[in-house]
Chain A
């Protein structure tokens, strides 16, 4: 009943079929599918970043220069930014720029956007990666321990304490936590620095403020997933095999709980990437987060565009890593067709 037509769908079907027949391997198919999705996502991201400026109601150039600037100045600036060209030409120019590393020039500082970004990116990257590591290293052992202790309705008081603590911690947004930590450790106790990025101890508070909330949420998720997995039929089989308790929890239950945790963990990590924006503002951290806020307020659109794009790529990279890890841990998910 369905007729074959030369639509893009048919072309991709054919391409997929061709590649599939070349190597009828589930892994290759998975890699191809994933790559496909990545390319499309990047393209959507680029287009969105490009469109962002053009969707702003009103005239962006005038917004930058102010209402009192003369029409000639506005016109000159518009020509400077290439905004007087037809849309598709601008789009082509933009894409070309992205692939050659030219993201335009910052209106505020006059420096190339790529330079500003590459100066500020390492600080943000460090923060995000460290926070993620801390969150995972805290959450997984605590979550597993809690699930073992509280399974089948045991240790109600422990469960209540754990749940309420993690709920409260998870409900505090990172910037509030940051402010609270600044108050306690910076103002009151004076133990740790609260601004800027200098020695190792200047990392502690920013990383903690980023990591604690997600760690609490993740620990709770790990516990819930472990409890669910412990109910699964194959765990019953493992118990019927009379394996040692540790073997059942760590070798059978945990790997299967991790796969479900990983998806949510990926979301948390992406949220953490966004959280750097807020935390950097509290600690005056020299990263992309503080820059983007200033540039939005200053209407420095090329810079905003560039930073939005970089953040987007970061999120896509996280998703890719999560998907690959998932595929490695759970072979079925790689086989599953979309």
Chain B
């Protein structure tokens, strides 16, 4: 219907395979892990025991045998007998129902009351909501047992009183949890969208808030049931819980303690039962939490294969680079591998580049291109389980493939990195000056005073106003742009030959971005420092750098002088990328250029050219064979079978 409906051109837009993402499927997946399965089994066993034991063994448990009072373990009575000659083993088993049942009841009360208190602020007005929140915050400071004792005084001794006591004692913690979860969800845009759409407050809580907090709530309820069980056992143990003639594990424990010198099994058996049941609840809850929350891919990479011979695509560039004696960075065939759910994943494959002193090189790419990982790999900052391999990785003539430890001082003083997010790149609990000074104290052997002076000096060089005062401040007192400048100052503490900047201005306003980029450029010209600038913004890279490397799906697809970006790009992806960025001269009467399809994720790299599914020039050859990077002119390399001549 519109001229630009390229998205319904089916093959280029893959539908993500529908995971059976219903909640049932996720919980089942948890049961497949070893911890989840064993905890689940244990829990099931406990619950079955709770149901069946009284049916099977009540008589055995209540049979009084005055001839066998206070006996120890024997073949007749596995755990012995109590003061009235009753078999303790069966008593422990039968007590399961009361112990578990009361604990579950108390948990229900705690969760119910907690949920109401926790969601109340979202439903009622601000004043009342704040009052409720404040009361909950005060109550939550008190440990459960104290609250339980408090309520036990009010509700009285006995099973009923104890259930109410433990239930209400657990309510503040759940209320606080519910509040936190509700607050977290309320921040999300879909709640705001529902409000704007006119959905009522009550309906928002019911349809949007509750389903999104249900999972963590249930998980915590499971763990809470374990806690309630222990709390109940404690109360009964003290004599404040279940009263004779009823008996639960706590009561049995209390009775057993008195005779522990003579008859230890009487105390230990119910204790073991409590621990097992408590563990079952806790472990199951935690297994579920882990399964639903994180999806940490656990995998091992196969042992390093024998070194593959250097690929043809690198040699041309490398030949050019090796001839220059002031090459700062010389990389050939860099590959980064991570373990993945379906085998190893290579977000960076076969990257070759070289940078000379004072040169500004840009790497441009979208999400999934591997550009940031390339930067980290160059800086030797990729840790296990990731693995970095390269045919050559030379920095200032030194081979880095031996690992970072061997060249600590070299890298510390000559290789500077500027990361993307200025908000989190500094240690929040230490002052900026100290964090800068640390570098030269470690690598240059400077004294404290000298290092401090140097830090202030560098801050001044990056045009941070009032540098002496600023050096004594904490990172949160700096604005975003100033923090990036401090990052650059950190890199300048040594005498760097290379600054690798990974999306340094993405999180900054455009006017601040200009300041930071100007700073980098002035450092480059003043000190002959090489700059490797990584960005998703073609325009920025085109402006700042002399040479641009375009990355797609882990490979470099084009290496060209930035002057040729607008008119002389040869790879279809580069051309499309440049065309897709709107600028101040875009034709307003035409629809914006779009690249159909989506960037490829590292797990789905196809066999041939990764861009083929989206490429207007693609042929069969492109899908079968991956093109190598070949020269198409001075300083211009393209990896495409159909690059425009």
Note whether A and B form a binding pair.
yes
Binds A, one of B212-220, B422-430, B615-623: B422-430
A52-B150, A277-B145 are known contacts. Are A282 and B412 too (CB-CB below 8 A)? no
Give the distance in Å from the alpha carbon of A168 to the alpha carbon of B127 in the complex: 44
Closest to B286 in A: A167
Partner of B253, one of A55, A179, A267, A315: A179
Task: Pick the residue among B149, B226, B383, B421 that contacts A171 (CB under 8 A).
Answer: B226
Supposing A176-B271, A331-B429 touch, asked if A296 and B240 sit within 8 A by C-beta, the answer is yes
Supposing A271-B144, A277-B145, A331-B429 touch, asked if A167 and B234 sit within 8 A by C-beta, the answer is: no
Shortest distance between the CB of A209 and any CB in chain B (Å): 12
Is residue B408 contacting chain A, with contact meaning CB distance below 8 A? yes
| Interface flag for B476 (CB, 8 Å) | yes
In the complex, which residues of chain A have a beta carbon less than 8 angstroms from the beta carbon of B264? 183, 187
Instruction: State whether the Cβ of B490 lies closer than 8 Å to any Cβ in chain A.
Output: yes
Please measure, in the bound complex, the distance between the C-alpha atom of A108 and the C-alpha atom of B149, giving whole angstroms: 19
Residues of B within 8 A of A16 (CB): none
Within 474-530 of B, Cβ neighbours of A (below 8 Å) are at 474, 476, 487, 490
Which residues of B have CB within 8 Å of A293? 238-240
When distances are taken between beta carbons in the complex, the residues of chain B under 8 Å from A66 are none
Interface of chain B residues 221 through 264 with chain A (CB within 8 A): 226, 230, 233-234, 237-240, 253, 257, 260-261, 264
Q: Mark B421-447, 1 if CB is under 8 A from A, else 0.
A: 100111111100000001100110000
The interface residues of chain B, by DSSP majority, are classed as: helix
Instruction: Tell me, yes or no, whether A153 is within 8 Å of chain B by CB.
Output: yes
User: Chain B nearest CB: distance from A334 CB in Å?
Assistant: 11
Contact at A243–B442, with CB atoms within 8 Å?
A: yes
Look across to chain B and name the residue whose beta carbon is closest to the beta carbon of A48. Answer: B150
CA distance A247 to B430 in the complex (A): 14
Rounded to whole Å, the gap between the CB of B339 and the closest CB of chain A is: 9
Q: How far is the CB of A325 from chain B (nearest CB, A)?
A: 13
Interface bits B339-376 vs A (CB < 8 Å: 1, else 0): 00000000000000000000000000000000000000
Which residues on the B side are within 8 Å of A243 (C-beta)?
Answer: 412, 438-439, 442
Task: Give the complex CA separation of A73 and B261 in angstroms.
Answer: 45
Is B275 within 8 A of A55, CB to CB?
Answer: no
- Chain A residues with Cβ below 8 Å from B135 are 44
Q: Which of B138, B142, B154 has the most CB of A within 10 A?
A: B142
Write out the residue numbers on chain A whose beta carbons fall within 8 Å of the beta carbon of B271: 176, 179-180
| A78 CB, min distance to chain B CBs, angstroms | 19
A77 at the interface (CB under 8 A from B): no
The residue on A at minimum CB distance from B231 is: A173
B274 interface hit (Cβ, 8 Å): yes
- In the bound complex, do residue A308 and residue B150 qualify as a contact, i.e. CB atoms below 8 Å apart? yes
Are B141 and A330 touching (Cβ within 8 A)? no
Cβ-defined contact, A311 with B146, below 8 A? yes
Please count how many residues in chain A sit with their CB below 8 Å of the partner chain's CB atoms.
70
Q: Once bound together, how far apart are the Cα atoms of A167 and B414, in whole Å? A: 46
Stretch from B21-29, B277-285, B625-633 contacting the other chain: B277-285
Q: Across the interface, which residues of B come within 8 angstroms of A41, CB to CB?
A: 138, 141
Decide yes or no whether A297 CB sits under 8 A from chain B: yes
Stretch at the interface among A82-90, A114-122, A228-236: A228-236
A256 at interface by CB-CB < 8 Å: yes
CB pair A319 B141 closer than 8 Å: yes
Bound together, the chains give a CA A180 to CA B260 distance in angstroms of 10
Chain B residues at the A interface, C-beta cutoff of 8 Å: 127, 134-135, 138, 141-146, 149-150, 152-154, 156-157, 226, 230, 233-234, 237-240, 253, 257, 260-261, 264, 267-268, 271, 274-275, 278-279, 282-283, 286, 298, 379, 381, 383-385, 404, 408-409, 411-412, 417, 419, 421, 424-430, 438-439, 442-443, 474, 476, 487, 490
B residues less than 8 Å from A165 (CB atoms): none
**Contact status of A176 and B143, CB under 8 A, knowing A41-B138, A153-B384, A293-B238:** no
* Residue numbers in A under 8 Å from B226 (CB-CB): 171
A11 to chain B, nearest CB (A): 15
Q: What are 9 A-B interface contacts by the 8 Å CB criterion?
A: A53-B153, A167-B286, A171-B279, A234-B427, A242-B404, A243-B438, A244-B442, A252-B430, A256-B428
Please give the distance in Å from A185's CB to the nearest CB on chain B: 12
Task: A56 to B286: give the CA distance in the assembly, Å.
Answer: 38
Measured between alpha carbons, how far is A319 from B261 in the docked complex, in Å?
A: 40
Residues from 287 to 330 in A contacting B, C-beta threshold 8 Å: 292-293, 296-297, 301, 304, 308, 311-312, 315-316, 319, 329-330
In angstroms, Cα B484 to Cα A233, docked, is: 13
Q: Does A240 have its Cβ within 8 Å of any Cβ on chain B? A: yes
Contact B145 A274 (CB under 8 A): yes
- Which residues of chain A are near B152, meaning CB under 8 Å? 296
A40 interface hit (Cβ, 8 Å) = yes
Q: A52-B150, A312-B146 are in contact. Are A232 and B260 (CB under 8 A)?
A: no
- Residue A270 interfacial (CB < 8 Å): yes
Of all chain B residues, the one with the shortest Cβ separation from A271 is B143
Q: Are A273 and B143 neighbours in the complex by a CB distance under 8 Å?
A: yes
Whether B424 pairs with A232 at a CB distance below 8 angstroms is yes
Task: Return the CB mask of A236-248 against B: 1 if under 8 Å, else 0.
Answer: 1111111110010
Instruction: Across the A-B interface, give the 7 residue pairs with the lowest CB-CB distance, nearest first.
Output: A242-B412, A274-B145, A233-B424, A274-B143, A152-B384, A271-B143, A242-B408
Contact B427 A242 (CB under 8 A): no
CA distance A172 to B272 in the complex (A): 9
A241 and B490 within 8 A (CB)? yes
Quick check: is A332 within 8 A (CB to CB) of the other chain? yes
**How far apart are the CA atoms of A240 and B421 in the complex, in Å?**
15
Residue contact B428 to A234, C-beta cutoff 8 Å: yes
Residues of B within 8 A of A93 (CB): none
Residues of chain B within 8 A (CB-CB) of A259 are: 429
* Given A171-B226, A273-B143, A278-B237, A238-B257 contact (CB < 8 Å): no
Complex Cα–Cα for A239 and B474 (A)? 20
| Contact call B474/A308, Cβ cutoff below 8 A | no
Q: Let me know if A143 is at the binding interface, CB within 8 A.
A: no
Interface membership of chain A positions 248-263, coded 1 if the CB is closer than 8 angstroms to chain B and 0 otherwise? 0000100110010000
Kindly provide the distance from the CB of A333 to the nearest chain B CB, expressed in whole angstroms.
10
**Interchain CA distance A297-B143 in the complex, whole Å:** 21
Contacts of A180 in B (CB 8 A): 268, 271
Candidates B150, B153, B385, B424; contact of A234 at CB < 8 Å:
B424
Chain B nearest CB: distance from A164 CB in Å? Answer: 9
Task: Encode contact with B along A1-39: 1 for CB under 8 Å, 0 otherwise.
Answer: 000000001000000000000000000000000000000
Q: Is A265 in contact with chain B by the CB < 8 A criterion? A: no
Closest to A53 in B: B153
A337 to chain B, nearest CB (A): 14
Closest partner residue, chain A, to B413 (CB atom): A242
Least CB separation from A154: chain B residue: B384
Q: Are A308 and B146 in contact (CB under 8 A)?
A: yes
Q: Could you tell me if B443 and A55 are in contact, using CB atoms closer than 8 angstroms? A: no
**Smallest Cβ-Cβ distance to A269: which chain B residue:** B143
Instruction: Assess whether B419 is in contact with A241, with CB atoms less than 8 Å apart.
Output: no
Nearest B residue to A282 by beta-carbon distance?
Answer: B257
A234 to B426 Cα, complex, angstroms: 5
Contact assessment for A187 and B260 in the assembled complex, using a CB-CB cutoff below 8 Å: yes
**A66 CA / B555 CA spacing, docked (Å):** 88
Contacts A182-B260, A183-B264, A308-B150 given: A332-B476 contact, CB under 8 Å? Answer: yes
With both chains docked as a complex, state the minimum distance between the C-beta of B441 and any C-beta of chain A, in angstroms.
Answer: 10
**Which residues of chain A are near B298, meaning CB under 8 Å?**
153
Q: Is the CB of B279 within 8 A of A167?
A: yes
Across the interface, do A187 and B261 meet the contact criterion of CB distance under 8 Å? Answer: yes
A266 to chain B, nearest CB (A): 9
Residues of A contacting B146 with CB < 8 Å? 273-274, 308, 311-312, 315
